[in-house]
Chain A
Amino acid sequence: MSRRALALLLGGCLWSWCFSLVSAQTTEPSSVELVPPRFVQGDLSAYPSELRDTGLGAAVDLWLTIDAEGRVDEVMVVGSGGESFDAAAVAAVLRYRFEPARRGQQTIVARIAYRYVFHPPEPVTIPASEVEKRMQNKEVFPAGVGGAAARLPSPVATVAPEQKVAAEEEDDAYSATATVDDAPREVVRRTLQREEILKVPGTRGDAIRAVELLPGVHRPPFGTGQLIVRGSAPGDSEAFVEGSALPLVYHFGGLTSVFNSLLLQRLDFYPGNFGTRYGRRIGGILEIGVRDPRRDRFGALLDINVIDATALVETPLDKKKKFTLALAARRSYIDFFVRSFSPSNGRLTAAPVYWDYQGILTYTPTRRDRLRLLTYGSSDHFALVGLDPADSDPNLRGNIDFATSFHRADLSWTRQLSSKVDQRVSVSLGPNKLRFAFGPDLKFDLSFLQMYGRAEWRMRLSRRFGLTSGLDIFVAPYDLNYRGPQPGQTEGQPMQESLSTMQLFDRSHRGTSLRPGLYVEADMLATDKLRFVLGLRGDYFSEVQGWALNPRLSTIYSLTERTRLKAGVGLYSQAPEFQESDATLGNPQLKPIQSVHSGIGAEHQVFAGLTIGGEAFYKYLFDRVVSTTGAVAPYYRNDGVGRIYGLELLVRLPPSSRRRLYGLGSYTLSRSQRNDRGEGWRLFDFDQTHIFNLVAGYRLGRGWELSGRFGLISGNPTTPVVGSVYSSDDDLYVPVYGKVNSVRNPLYHRADLRIQKQWTFRVWSLMVYLDVRNLYNYRNQEGISYNYDYSQSQPISGLPIIPALGLRGEL
């Protein structure tokens, strides 16, 4: 590690110590104006009658929405204890009565986190006074506003620590803690809860792919699964797992994500105007929240479908349940089918196969502390040998070898330093490998060790003022071996040319990418209705030896209890792509890429559960990296700008125990343009004018559930080929292009369907599901292919209908 990195880490430790001092001096409680709901009555000892003889215990984590009259209006299961226990818990809490939450004298709708614990054989009954005592809050998050930001359990200073400790020392049989999430700080944060994302048709229950339904998310290019947000390039957005960057989101083909959805708690998606906690990106952020393992008892799950199989076990490790563990693994079996297949001109030596694993070990020594070790990894590999030269590109011949893998260990420690200060420190470390070779002239072999650290402190200094500050650092020593053509600019450069007609280079390079960042964010409540979040972030990019200072501001105005207006503006920076700033392939003299995000929007809760929202946004990009004319040295310059503007609408009716129907509808109208080297405005490669998605599900009863999805999306722009020139050097034709991105692929549309049936037995449940992608087998055009001299063309079609039958057993 470089001296600079060491200095920054030491600085972080010093900062941590300073904050500890501050927190020690700020423990006196602040005045409370928001009053949480108070428990009045309800059945606290419900137990499923059919399981009474089983001797089982369980815990069900719930979110309760309590209306202004004190009734439980909405129940969401966020941590299942099994079908029967879930149903019993939901049925019980729906009959609860509370004194409603209040802001001053006004009663308001509130949401609380609630754990219902079943203890066999005689359920433990807790006096109502005890429940009330354990639900003391300092702040109540008005439910249904701000995208239902739910976090369970939240360590944010919400419950007086003395009370929490007391609760823990007593019987753990029943707890009802009203934890309150941070009030929304971002202009747009869209959160998808576990129950919502596991049921999206066409994804085989892959939760991360559910993000594609949200407004602002573009349909990814065929087979890639890339995250394209609000007209930004794929490399401009990033996915994080509990704050640590995920190097690869999907296995090959883009159909399955590398992180098992069964271990997800939530997805937080920030399409723009995100806070200073996130940096080094000018697009959007996807934060993947991982749930804790079960604390009540041993659990297991096995999911088998036509593509892969998943196994999951989770259990508390000690009697006090301070240690919990979950282990999961998944493997595809495409190779079992593909082994019998041999291309006409090649031999398959390693059939396509992927696997991934996850492990979670949590330790909760006190109510104030939580340690978690999260390990995960992924691998994809296949190989072919003996391929004849392709007519279109004779250099593509011989052997193909493709392998990618990463492993990660992420250790985090969350500590409530005082009633006003929380601290979270995390460090992740892991190797990454990417190897790709095709024939003698295309080779890419990259290995790097990703180290990522973050330390963050959140302080609630008064009811009207909060402060968040932290530092994060990304360090990646890498080793690259490359043979191939000079890489072009990341988009806007049609490249149908064959490898054989391009000048090839051999490059080997070792280096270290170092990106430290510091951030601070002040959260100010100007009035009871008006909130400002003002932040500043500084980043350093060692690749280009450049600094970036990013101020950001967002403001939220609560027009009514159900309606909120919001606006934000901020500056965002990002390092050039690796190949652009690498000394051997690009130009290390580049500057960081910059973008200004601005947005304004509104959200309204029509009734409990149903929310609608809309945002208008405008982004301006400058110092974009583009190729030099003719792609000659220094190969890249900061000579590009861009502009992106649009409108997003979202209607959500999340799954609830109150309704059989749930759904989500989203629409995005946008335009994304680029201007390279002052040559005039053109469309961005993945500009999609209209993006419409509709998902609806219905619980039919008796364990049957039916859901469907329909998407209607503008085709991506393409650059037409208007002619060709015969290159005698290679016996190939070189295409002559028309205006960049001047035509579009046809409108894309697709319907997916999912039907599932669940049987619940005494100690386990069984689910059978059929997930059909591209229900009516429409062959959407994903691109254009040409004949040898570009005089003829034909569309490249996307994936046909893919039915996936699966079986899931859960203990």
Chain B
Amino acid sequence: MKTLGTLGAVGRGGWTRNLSFAVWLGLTCVGKGLLGCTGSFESATRIERTRVVATRSSVIGDASRAWPRPGETVRFDLLAVDPNGIANISWALVLCADRGSAFGVGGCAGSPLALATQLDPQPSTPFLEAALPSAAELGAVTTLRLSAIACPGASLRPDILPTTNGVDALLDPAALQQACPVDERNRSTLVTATVSLQRDDLGNRRPLFQADTLLLNGAPWPELEAFSGSEVDPVCSLNAQGTVPTASARRGAVYVRSIFPADQRDVYLPPNGAAMQRESLRVSHFADAGQFNSQFSFIEGEADNSQVAWIPPEVTTPAAITLVRFYFVVRDQRGGVDWTRRYLCLVP
């Protein structure tokens, strides 16, 4: 949940002259973090409609690298999730040079470098492959901007797409609705992402989910092929063979641990930093039923794992067995991203 003006307080008032501003900042942050602002909103960890939860860049030919060099070909994938498994969306992705901004929504400087669209909704994974211009053509550009629109259940109007200004033209709600005329059940999503260019030997390797990265209540939680909504019953009926783990709604929270050994985390020199440091990984957790106690967990410092609790939904039909889809995204907070899916059969 977001609270009014939290970080605005950083800039409000004179630090040397009016300490009460800082007091306010402290209290607001405390309230935001834990005390006073417990709203009744839906949890961000619960997938209740079509949502975008990540974009990923990987260099063609060396998928472990997140930062492309000028002249290389790079692929951008967009993870759109849906309570029914695979999102039925139209979409457009555009790549351009980043115009830079200390905060707010980033935009494009100059014409798009690449564009990919799916104008009619389809159960597909949005992606864009782009051959980057040479270093000479890119000049002083150090970062690129990936912009996207995901339009669930409706067709995109081809004449209103994020182009020269990234998503700027669609920030107006009326323009967005014109470009993506979704019904009341759906919500279009504008997406923005920063793509750093590798200009020297110091690149950025993506953290990668492995088969043994995730543990469910301490036991390995292997990845399976994706299932669509119509396959729910067969999936959980296969449970007898132990393919999909099972949890009981009555037993309460289920614990998920993410393990990323130190070699998955690059050592790098931060901007304005004096010493090399190891990356800090941020793991995001989503499920299409129940909710996690926290959307994020961190693996930083000397730690090699993090744990979150998933609280099952209340079971309203005692006899039903529910397939729950989980999505996990890991970010090295420098542009390296990976994701994975997991399944769980929830029994009453």
Contact = CB atoms under 8 A, between A and B. Distances in A.
Interface of A: 221, 223-226, 233-235, 238, 245, 247-254, 343-346, 380, 384, 387-394, 396-397, 400, 402, 404, 406, 432, 434, 436, 438, 440, 442, 444, 446, 448, 476, 478, 480, 484-491, 493-499, 501-503, 505-506, 513, 577-579, 630-632, 718, 722-731, 734-736, 782-792, 794, 796
Contact of B104 (A397, A726, A734): A734
Residue in B15, B29, B39, B167 whose Cβ sees the most chain A Cβ within 10 Å: B15
A630 B105 contact: no
Contacts of B189: 726
Contacts of A723: 171-173, 176, 190
A785 B172 CA distance: 21
A783 B45 contact: no
Interface string B1-32: 11111111011111111111111111111101
Contacts of B103: 485-486, 488, 495, 497, 501-503, 631
Given A499-B7, A577-B13, A391 B295 contact: yes
A252 B27 contact: yes
Contacts of B316: none
Nearest to B18: A235
B190 A494 contact: no
B10 to A, nearest CB: 5
A736 B27 contact: no
A245 B4 CA distance: 30
Interface of B: 1-8, 10-30, 32-37, 39-45, 52-55, 100-105, 146, 167, 171-173, 176, 187, 189-194, 272-273, 280, 282, 284, 293-298, 300, 329, 331, 333, 335, 337
A96 B225 CA distance: 100
A394 B298 contact: yes
A490 B12 contact: yes
A235 B17 contact: yes
Given A387-B34, A393-B32, A787-B41, A434 B22 contact: yes
A223 B39 contact: no
A223 B24 contact: yes
A250 B55 CA distance: 46
21 contacts: A224-B24, A226-B18, A233-B12, A247-B17, A343-B35, A345-B34, A390-B34, A391-B296, A434-B22, A436-B25, A487-B11, A488-B103, A491-B12, A631-B101, A723-B173, A723-B176, A724-B190, A728-B54, A729-B194, A789-B44, A792-B41
Contacts of B187: 789, 791
Contacts of B21: 224, 226, 234-235
B167 A725 contact: yes
Contacts of B10: 484-485, 487-488, 495
Residue in B6, B23, B293 whose Cβ sees the most chain A Cβ within 10 Å: B23
A406 B18 CA distance: 12
Nearest to B11: A487
Given A394-B282, A726-B192, A434 B29 contact: no
Given A400-B29, A487-B11, A723-B190, 9 more contacts: A235-B18, A391-B43, A391-B295, A393-B2, A448-B16, A494-B8, A496-B4, A577-B13, A630-B100
B73 to A, nearest CB: 20
A234 B39 contact: no
Contacts of A252: 23, 26-27
A433 to B, nearest CB: 9
Contact of B295 (A238, A254, A380, A394): A394
Contact of B33 (A234, A253, A387, A631): A387
Contacts of B40: 794
B33 A734 contact: no
Contacts of B8: 488, 493-496
B4 A783 contact: yes
A338 B294 CA distance: 24
Residue in B5, B10, B33 whose Cβ sees the most chain A Cβ within 10 Å: B33
B183 to A, nearest CB: 15
B6 A496 contact: yes
A363 to B, nearest CB: 31
A254 B20 contact: yes
Contacts of B191: 725-726, 728
B2 A392 contact: yes
Contacts of A789: 44, 187
B23 to A, nearest CB: 5
Contact of B30 (A225, A400, A577, A735): A400
A-B pairs with lowest CB-CB distance, top 6: A495-B8, A783-B4, A487-B11, A788-B44, A787-B41, A394-B296
Given A223-B24, A434-B22, A728-B337, A785 B1 contact: yes
Contact of A787 (B1, B7, B192, B280): B1
Contacts of A446: 15-16
Contacts of A513: 16
Nearest to A432: B19
Residue in A495, A734, A790 whose Cβ sees the most chain B Cβ within 10 Å: A495
B15 A495 contact: no
A722 B102 contact: no
Given A442-B29, A578-B14, A632 B4 contact: no
Contacts of B167: 725
A476 B298 CA distance: 40
Given A402-B26, A725-B105, A346 B14 contact: no
Nearest to B270: A506
Residue in A391, A632, A784 whose Cβ sees the most chain B Cβ within 10 Å: A391
Nearest to A478: B16
Nearest to A249: B20
B39 A731 contact: no
Contacts of B7: 485, 495, 497-499, 502
Nearest to A476: B16
A164 to B, nearest CB: 40
Contacts of B102: 485-486, 502-503, 630-632
B52 A224 contact: no
A343 B34 contact: yes
A725 B101 contact: no
B273 to A, nearest CB: 8
Contacts of B35: 343
A722 B238 CA distance: 46
A424 B19 CA distance: 29
Contacts of B36: 796
B15 A728 contact: no
Given A235-B13, A796-B3, A389 B19 contact: no
Contacts of A346: 33-34
Contacts of B39: 785, 787, 794
A223 B27 contact: yes
B192 A498 contact: no
B28 to A, nearest CB: 8
A389 B41 contact: no
Residue in B36, B42, B296 whose Cβ sees the most chain A Cβ within 10 Å: B296
A380 B23 contact: yes
B209 to A, nearest CB: 15
A726 B52 contact: yes
Given A579-B11, A726-B192, A247 B19 contact: yes
Contact of B193 (A393, A491, A728, A794): A728
B192 A728 contact: yes
Contacts of A380: 23
A225 B27 contact: no
A234 B7 CA distance: 17
A785 B3 contact: yes
B57 to A, nearest CB: 10
Residue in B7, B101, B191 whose Cβ sees the most chain A Cβ within 10 Å: B7
Contacts of B293: 345, 388
A730 B14 CA distance: 30
A672 to B, nearest CB: 15
A731 B189 CA distance: 13
A343 B34 CA distance: 7
A226 B44 contact: no
Contacts of A722: 172-173
